[in-house]
Amino acid sequence: MVCVFFLFHSKKKLSLAYLFVFFSFQAVLASGSENIRLNQIGYYQYGPKRAVIISSSAWRFSIKSVDSSTTYYTGDLKSPKAWPAADDTSEIADFSDFNLTGTFIIVVPGVGTSFPFIIGSSVNQNIARGLIKAFYYQRASTSLPAQYAGAWSRSEGHPDLNVIIHEGAGSDASLVNPRKAGDVFASPKGWYDAGDYGKYVVNAGITVYTLLALYEQFSGYFDTLSLNIPETASGLPDLLKEIKWEIDWLLTMQDPVDGGVYHKLTSLGFCGFIMPAADNDARYFIGKGSAATFDFAAICAVAYRIYNKKLPLFADSCLAAAQYAWTWGKVHPDSVFSNSYDVSTGAYGDAGLKDERQWAAIELYLATGDTAYKITADSLKQSYSLPSWQTVCGLSSYSLAYKKNDSASIAQMVNAANKLGGVIDSSSYRVPISNSFYWGSNSVVANDGMLFIEAFLATKKVSYFDWAVQTLDYLLGKNALGYSFVTGFGVQSPMNPHHRPSAADGISAPVPGLLVGGPNGSQDDVSSCTAYPTKLAAKSWIDVECAYACNEIAINWNAAAAFLAGAIEAIYSDTSYHVQSYIHDTVPPSLGAISITDVAADHVTLGWKTGVEASSSVIYGTDSLLLQSKRIFSTGTTAHSVTITGLSSSTRYFFKVSAVDYYGNFTEDSLRFFTTDSSMLSSGFTFDPAALKAVAGSDLKITFTDASGIAATLEYSSGGESGSSSILFVENNGTYSATIPGSDITSSGILFSITLLGFSDTVTTPVWSISPYETVEFSNTIQHSKTYGMVSFPSDFSSEYPATFFGSRLGKSSSWKYCGYSADSGKYIQNDSIRTGCGGWLYSTENATVVVKGKSLKPDTLFPVILSKGWNIIGNPFSYPIYWENAQVRYNNMVLRISDKAANQIVRRQLFRYSDTTSDQLNNGEYVSNTGILSADTTRLLPWLGYWVYAEKSGAELLFNPNVASPKFHGFKKPESSGNEWHIGLLASVNGNVDKAIIGASAGALDVYDEFDSPRPPSITSDVFIGLLEPQWHGATSLYSSDIISSASGNCHTWSMAVKTPVSGANVKLSWEKSGTMDGFVYLYDPVTGITIDMTQTHSCDVLLTLGETERELSVKVMPYTASVNIIPSSWNLSQAAPNPFRTSTKINYSIPIKSSGSINGQAVTLSVYDILGRRIRILVNEVKYPGNYSIVWNGADDFGKRLTQGIYILHLSANGFSGSSKIHVVD
């Protein structure tokens, strides 16, 4: 929800509807955590998103659905930092790259749960509209009809038709018909300045400028923004219409006799907290000074250029008034205003007037083009300073930068913005304020945000815009108090601002859209109001109406906040600004400058950077087309470096660098080259590996020629073997030879290299490979007859049909069955062709030996198999085991390792093999998988076996890699702590047939479909199936063999699980085994029988299907422990509060049982406090709760934070037909 106020046509409706909304949010507060501070309005889908976590020891956070049932994102918290002004140590949760839209919460184990927040588009539209609409609520001299003001409608106040000239405000007596003290003139319209009913020109100056600048710079957006205000100026956008209400009044504040401008229009003192219509005190034109006059001239000049096209006559009158005021100001450049003895309303006194004069001169120069004004402005030598009502030179910088692209003004703005941005980046809260908390500190923050917007418009650097967004975050909740400082917006916002209409209108909710002053370390009002709860500057704010030093409102504060929120919304709505910098799903990673270093005769080092963490690689070879090439990887970093070894000396190598990010976006650099150094050792080296021919079992002689006197060794290893052997070469007149024994020459092939050694140099050649050139026989005996098995066949052989292939090996077709699988059709193919690298299902009646004749693959071959989207049966084409994690994936010119994050979107990392050791002619084996992996995987693909793999893309190539090196884990960042990682293996069996599934939790997993989850592979035939149902992932009929959720603390999750069997009325035996640590309950619920089973206390159960029933859907729910006693209660209970009676706080315990039907679903629970007359005065709990034991602490306050008077009150618990009460005694 973006805001918490609504507009109604009657005050009676407001009281009920507002309370409903307020109570709804109170329920959120009860379950939320004030230790998670965030923008309570929300975040843009493709913008910066950060929250503050008050903790020094938390390390991970999750983003979940509001009901906590789904985890969408997990991340690590930034290192903790202290903020002395708040006495807080905090960590930052940065989820800027989380781009789902909706309403979410943040959960931090050990800290708590945040308020709900939204991620979407047009996030600031309502609050920008509200901040501007607040000026309508501040209108003087008019009634506010319910049609426009809703519940805050009121009668007209302060018509200001008979305003008296105060002593000292008269005209120059030497002029014709001067105005004099006691004369009466009209000065209607305008805005009440703050919490009082005065109208002040000086503060109107920066206010009107800020709003006019908002329109001028974003007119395309504000031309169509509706504020629901009366039609007072036909043809104007609502924003200009509202500003004109103030300018119309300002024009009446100019003395028509001499051109000077009255300082303010107020009574002699402040009235009480009454409505405008009840204030009948006399009103005066008070004072006349340079500050008011120059400010007036400036804003009238700005109004001329803004309104000139829409209301030319009005614009001309503004310009004439500005020039007339300038004339008076030239004669009175240093006329300082101060209150006279009989006036106690706001002074807005300012003794430094050069900045006002300069600002007026710049705006008149921009309005007229008269350089005389510019010369005057330059002579005053005013440099940029953050704008405020008393320091306005910065406003001229904004105008010059925007209208003239003035380089000096831009440089000053950018310098100030850079310094302020440095404060944000070094701040523990990522906010632009450190310890400068004084009167109106929120206004300073809002003007900081305006500076960032102006710097962004001048430079188009997105960093300034990001800082502006983080500045608004502070005002809307990411602050030391966890409050949104704008009335009516956010989960926690001020309810009692120092604002007379809000206090006197009889409505609980304050006028919406008002920015309060914010923390004030000086606490100037403490003597006349109440004590602050702390002396900490960042927390020196109280929500009481008498706190004028921290909780008053003011139009200049509101204008800056309206500019910031409105500008951000306008910029996001216009894609030409290119600020949506967190759209990662289509932008390829950048490749920085590529360095070539440490060039030697046999190696080189390459380095480069990617803009984001990416899977990167280098392909290299000696031909420019890279037809004969090798590849080396670098993953899991933004700063990449690889060293390529085994190069030939004095050789030019060509290479390309590529990178793929998490979202599969690919980029590739242009072709480059390097040349290796020469070496005396290899200058005469001659060797032709292609001339070698290997025969299995026969010695293999390796010969090369080179200069005499060189020592050389031969390093070799058999394919699939991690160890190596070394043989010295023997020289004969420059011919060197070494012989590999025939016992080492097998069908696995050989890898070898030559090392040349000199006195001061060593050179190692490339690694070559060779395998027996003739056809080799591979054989394997079927160990378990009369069973089904997934098989494949090693070596490189021609595709054959099963009748030919098996006919000569297994005998007549009645003794065997073979079928492949089509991912395209999702069906088995009887007697499918047999191909290298592919597999199928085989059933044999005998334990026969299968012999395959084919060519051995060289032990450095990357053997490709093309996959189709869906399930594919693959097989290891080599005669020895190979590591699955060394496999590579090629798709659309990208080459990735199977463990890379991006690869998981092409080919799933999980694989399955089938195991059946019972010779009973039934398919009653089970799938064995690596789905339990949470980090590195050392699974090896065995020859002769078949494996299921799932491809997310058709046309992807799986490259079998025989590299014997143990795989390094590159896929997912291993958490600093495993947290409560656990899983439950579920097994269903019917008549000896079994099937398995896995549920569990991992710190690295999400609740949506990710790399920890796997579809369920097809079975050749079975009498039982078990799987998890997630219809939103791939389809309503899809079953998943593993569904791993986030292990974030406090998680509640429900799995829908299906058991299926073609045997009608079967008794399905369910059993399970739990591993890992889980602090919570796990319950199995059968909706047909109503039975609920505690899976932590038992390990099996029977699911008896009814006659005709072949499928049953069950639920498995995990719930956190809700009390020290880890037992689900059997009945409802509302315990006596303790202590009782109480003064400061009391603890209330209550219990929620499993439903009578056996269901363990959540139930709507309400826990309320009533007085003895039956009036509900506090809602403590109003939300869905799961079965368990709960407690809540109550401080004795009502829903509005006010302490209850001494007496007896009633606690009432209600839910699902249950109703229980107990008495509680509050004492003073």
Q: Token pair for residue 32?
A: 């939320």
Annotated active-site residue 957? The verdict is: no
Nearest to 832 by CA among 799, 868, 786, 864: 799
Position 154: which residue type?
R
Would you tell me the crossing angle of helices 441-459 and 555-573 to the nearest 10 degrees? 30
Beta bridge partners of 261: 254
Of 255, 363, 505, 543, which is the active-site residue? 543
- Residue the block writes with tokens 């025969």: 695
Compute, in degrees rounded to 10, the torsion defined by CA atoms 900, 906, 909, 911.
-160
868 within 8 A of 809, measured Cβ to Cβ? no
Distance CA 118, CA 528 (A): 40
Q: Which helix (H) or strand (E) holds 1166?
A: strand 1163-1170
Of 552, 937, 1007, 1023, which is the active-site residue? 552
Nearest to 163 by CA among 247, 244, 294, 262: 262
Cα distances from 911 to residues 511, 720, 923, in angstroms, run: 61, 21, 19
Of 91, 160, 193, 196, which is the active-site residue? 196
Strand 863-866 relative to strand 1025-1029: parallel, antiparallel, unpaired? unpaired
Of 158, 166, 263, 498, which is the active-site residue? 498
1137 within 8 A of 1211, measured Cβ to Cβ? yes
Task: Print burial letters for 979-1003: b (CB count within 10 Å at least 16), e (below 16).
Answer: bbbbbbbbbbbbeebbbbbbbbbbb
Collapsed DSSP state (helix, strand, coil) of residue 1187: coil
Collapsed DSSP state (helix, strand, coil) of residue 1100: strand
Strand 163-165 relative to strand 284-288: parallel, antiparallel, unpaired? parallel
928 within 8 A of 912, measured Cβ to Cβ? yes
Through-space distance between the first and last CA atoms of the chain, rounded to whole angstroms: 38
Strand 36-37 relative to strand 102-108: parallel, antiparallel, unpaired? unpaired
Annotated active-site residue 832? The verdict is: no
Neighbours of 196 (CB within 10 A): 23
Nearest to 887 by CA among 814, 982, 958, 944: 958
Compute, in degrees rounded to 10, the torsion defined by CA atoms 447, 453, 456, 458.
-80
Q: Percent helix, strand and coil across the chain, each rounded to 5?
A: 20, 30, 45
List, in order, residues 6 or more apart from 250 with CB less than 8 Å away: 190, 201, 204, 208, 296, 299, 300
Annotated active-site residue 552? The verdict is: yes
Q: How many residues does the chain have?
A: 1228
Q: Token pair for residue 715?
A: 């390093």
DSSP assignment of 421-489 equals: HHHHHHSSS--S-SS---TTHHHHHHHHHHHHHHHHHHH--HHHHHHHHHHHHHHBT-STT--B-BTT-
Annotated active-site residue 196? The verdict is: yes
Distance CA 1092, CA 1180 (A): 30
List, in order, residues 6 or more apart from 759 with CB less than 8 Å away: none
Distance CA 464, CA 454 (A): 9
Distance CA 443, CA 413 (A): 18
- Residue the block writes with tokens 């001020």: 494
Where are the extended beta strands (E) located within 482-603?
595-597
Nearest to 871 by CA among 1113, 1057, 1038: 1038
Q: Token pair for residue 872?
A: 């594919």
27 within 8 A of 1179, measured Cβ to Cβ? yes
Please list the active-site residues: 196, 498, 543, 552
